Amino acid sequence: MSKKPEWTLKEIRDAFEEAYCGKIGVEYMHIPDREQCNWIRDKIELRQYEQLTRQEKLVLLDRLFWTDEFSNFIGTKFNTMKRFGLEGCESFIAGMKSAMDSIVTTGA
């Protein structure tokens, strides 16, 4: 919780509630390396404070639309073929693309 110099009790409660009481759960306490656990905990607890610009949100929305349309196209074009669809994984594609973009820009 180091991104902000001072926190009120309500802000701390809201941050932890959003991080740990939402729809996504993360199990990381089984990892023996404390440094890795701390890194994961920091990313989970501070994720709500990494705000996206309007342009970044539009790019992510465009990627979501593109993956959905691509899945529909493949489904209609190759309707008799066995394939793996993107149902439920559309946001994963946009997340992977964002991660790749971040790696390219930071050089990590």
Q: Which residues contact 28 (CB under 8 A, 6 or more apart)?
A: 36, 37, 40, 41
pTM: 0.46
Measured in degrees and rounded to the nearest 5, phi and psi for residue 91 equal -70, -25
Is the domain of 40 the same as that of 57?
no
Last residue of a domain, one of 12, 32, 51: 51
| Span 5-33, pLDDT tens digits | 677 888 878 877 877 777 777 778 888 99
The count of other CB atoms within 10 Å of the CB of residue 94 is 19
Q: Between vectors from CA 18 to CA 16 and to CA 20, what angle results, nearest 5°?
A: 60
The count of other CB atoms within 10 Å of the CB of residue 15 is 19
Is the domain of 36 the same as that of 67?
no
| Span 33-46, pLDDT tens digits | 989 888 888 777 76
